[in-house]
Amino acid sequence: MEDYELLNLSTDIGFFMLVHGAEVYRVEESIRRMLNSYGREDADVYVIPGSIVVTLCCKDGKPMTKTRRVLRHQTNLDKIDALNNLVRSICRETPDFESASLKFKEILGRKVYSNRVLLIVYAIIGASFAIFFGGTLRDAVFAMLAAMGIKIIQILFEKIDANDFFTIVICSAFASFFAIFSAYFHFADNMDKVTIGALMTLVPGITITNCMRDFIAGDLMTGLSRLAEAILTAAGIAIGVAVNLMFLKNFIV
């Protein structure tokens, strides 16, 4: 495989692993192992949540570097698993570029959950947490509706490529607004249970877990980046709720 083909393919595989939620150390190790399997023992790989930098020494002795910026993240364990298996296959068999590239494109073309399925999942999460925190069945129903509203807002805002922090503020404000008026008109029993149930879909649990894991692994830069992301998400949730509580305090029951 030519140097530029090897560099492009290994960086692209690492990029999509990172986009779909793989750990930083896993991405670095995967890229490095692929390059080493083709005889590029002096390859240098640097990965943080927002960027990938890969440098290898070409056959003529000159260095070649590629950088990819990561702007958005999501969680797709199926694609992470498939890309992991692809990396192992490349390291074991060292295929030609066409074969490896074809397998890579097949993985990227895998189907993901539809918006309808995601709406159902959000509804289950909202209702479950409302009951978990002591709410009634009526609270669970309206927490379910609020959670589905949050997902609809996220879908709409993704289409216009809106800022994640702004999206979180709007989603949390909607959930709080919905909970306040559902309790005010006595459709729901507890405003707080409806609010909490819906907002649990926004809580950055995975981000906080990854942050602590990165700190333990010694990836301080990555850990700090994820910690900042979690803090901003929490701040966005708090701002959205606080605005409603401030302006709609006369409707709070």
DSSP result, 122-162: HHHHHHHHHHHTT--HHHHHHHHHHHHHHHHHHHHHHHTT-
Rounded to the nearest integer, the mean pLDDT of the chain is 88
- pLDDT the model gives residue 1: 60
- Per DSSP bridges, beta strands 44-48 and 51-57 are antiparallel
Identify whether residues 52 and 86 lie together within a single domain: yes
**Mean pLDDT, residues 65-87 taken together:** 89
Identify whether residues 35 and 84 lie together within a single domain: yes
Identify whether residues 15 and 90 lie together within a single domain: yes
- pLDDT the model gives residue 170: 94
Identify whether residues 120 and 102 lie together within a single domain: no
Asked if 181 and 195 touch (Cβ cutoff 8 Å), the reply is no
Q: Which residue bears the tokens 């989603």?
A: 171
Percent of the chain's residues with pLDDT above 90 = 46
Last residue of a domain, one of 76, 108, 140: 108
**Mean pLDDT, residues 85-101 taken together:** 90
Last residue of a domain, one of 108, 126, 156: 108
Question: Per-residue pLDDT tens for 186-213?
Answer: 888 889 899 999 999 999 888 888 888 8
Identify whether residues 72 and 134 lie together within a single domain: no
- pLDDT the model gives residue 252: 66
Identify whether residues 214 and 122 lie together within a single domain: yes
Identify whether residues 119 and 238 lie together within a single domain: yes
Tell me which residue range forms the domain holding 22. 3-108
pTM of the model: 0.81
Asked if 10 and 31 touch (Cβ cutoff 8 Å), the reply is yes
Whether residue 218 is predicted with pLDDT greater than 70 in this model: the reply is yes
Identify whether residues 58 and 175 lie together within a single domain: no
Asked if 51 and 70 touch (Cβ cutoff 8 Å), the reply is yes
72 vs 81: CA distance, rounded Å:
19
Identify whether residues 120 and 100 lie together within a single domain: no
What's the total number of domains in the chain?
2
Identify whether residues 83 and 170 lie together within a single domain: no
Last residue of a domain, one of 93, 108, 123: 108
Whether residue 253 is predicted with pLDDT greater than 60 in this model: the reply is no
